[in-house]
Amino acid sequence: MACIESYGEDSEWFTFAKMGIFCHNADLLLDVRLPLERLMRSEKPRVIVATSTLVQGVNLRVSTVISSTRYQAGTAITKRDFWNIAGRAGRAFVDHEGKILVALDNYWKG
């Protein structure tokens, strides 16, 4: 309902949410972000696509974390932030183990 009211019934946000794919970033309207985070905790979404904003305090049950980069805003993330992100995978009493996948691009444009 929040997606429809804020972005319209034809929005990509709503289309993805109906398929169980939740998208989260800092640009989400508060009226959409809060219900979406509640849904992420209570339901079992198929996929969550998120920026690093999601790992800054939203406690979710996630089996696999896939990171597409080692950078945030053009700067390499710290070891502490990497392990904070990776630590979201595999929650106690839910998963036997968590999976962490990091895509590394070693191609250098010189």
Distance in angstroms (rounded) separating the CA atoms of residues 4 and 9: 5
- Domain residues of the chain, as ranges? 1-48, 61-110
How would you write the pLDDT of the chain (110 residues) with one tens digit per residue? 777 777 777 878 788 888 888 888 878 888 888 888 887 777 777 888 887 766 666 667 778 888 888 887 788 888 888 888 888 788 777 778 888 888 877 765 55
Distance in angstroms (rounded) separating the CA atoms of residues 48 and 57: 15
Q: What is the pLDDT of residue 70?
A: 81
H or E element in which residue 4 lies: helix 2-7
Q: What is the pLDDT of residue 26?
A: 78
Q: Is the pTM of this model over 0.85?
A: no
